[in-house]
Structure 1
């Protein structure tokens, strides 16, 4: 996130502080708030975890088995990740991540394994509740 009002000098010994020699309108200086990053990451983690649980319930109730259940999970996971990217981040991924080289594909695949475990748990639970009992 670029903050021209911060007036920080990254070459200063402390990495910050006022720099009266540089123009404060220089857009090459960036300020990154680690607390905001952690808060945003926790919110995305909660949304994706809830999506894994909800999509597992949907797949179990609909009776999806095998690859159709896996396809359901992958479609819903990428849909939710794209919704986060579009509505909350305005497709400006580099403004919300630490590494400026992160791609949209890596963002979409983040937390895939953790969400898949929640998905499988609720998928088998609801499939068993609806079709076996």
Structure 2
């Protein structure tokens, strides 16, 4: 997202007089609001963490074991990230972050996997062992 107040897109005649950059490479820089980025990142982190917990509960209650539980986690993790991308970002990833599509879909994968495994084993044990 280009900040209109920074005048990075225009580079008008005043920039040339003040000795500012005159080549087009410097004029195409993008400015991100880091406070908004951190806020959005925290919200997505909460959603993904909650998804890991819910997916673990679902897999445990359904009695999924082995690769079927892993596939359940992968499908739910990617579907939640696609939902964030579709409903909140309107598939315009570059307006909100500088990540690639693959890195966005697999973000927080390890942390969510740990939450998933914790609740998967807990609920599997509660439902099928007791």
2:68 is equivalent to residue 68 of structure 1: yes
Question: What's 1:86 paired with?
Answer: 86
Moved over 3 A (4+): 27-30
Question: What's 1:56 paired with?
Answer: 56
Task: Report the TM-score when normalising by structure 2.
Answer: 0.82
Counterparts of 1:28 and 1:86, CA distance in 2: 27
Question: What's 2:21 paired with?
Answer: none
Q: How does 1:13-32 map to 2 (within 5 A)?
A: 21=14, 28=28, 30-32=30-32
5+ residue gaps, structure 1: 11-18
Task: Report the TM-score when normalising by structure 1.
Answer: 0.80
5+ residue gaps, structure 2: 16-26
Counterparts of 1:114 and 1:20, CA distance in 2: 50
1:91 is paired with a residue of what secondary structure? coil
Question: What's 1:39 paired with?
Answer: 39
Number of residue equivalences: 116
Counterparts of 1:86 and 1:9, CA distance in 2: 30
Q: Alignment RMSD, CA only?
A: 1.9
1:21 is paired with a residue of what secondary structure? helix
Structure having the larger proportion of residues in helix: 2
The C-alpha deviation readout for 1:3-60, integer Å capped at 9, x for no partner, is 32x1x256xxxxxxxx8725xxxx9453310000000000000000000000000000
1:30 is paired with a residue of what secondary structure? coil
Q: CA deviation at 1:2?
A: 2.1
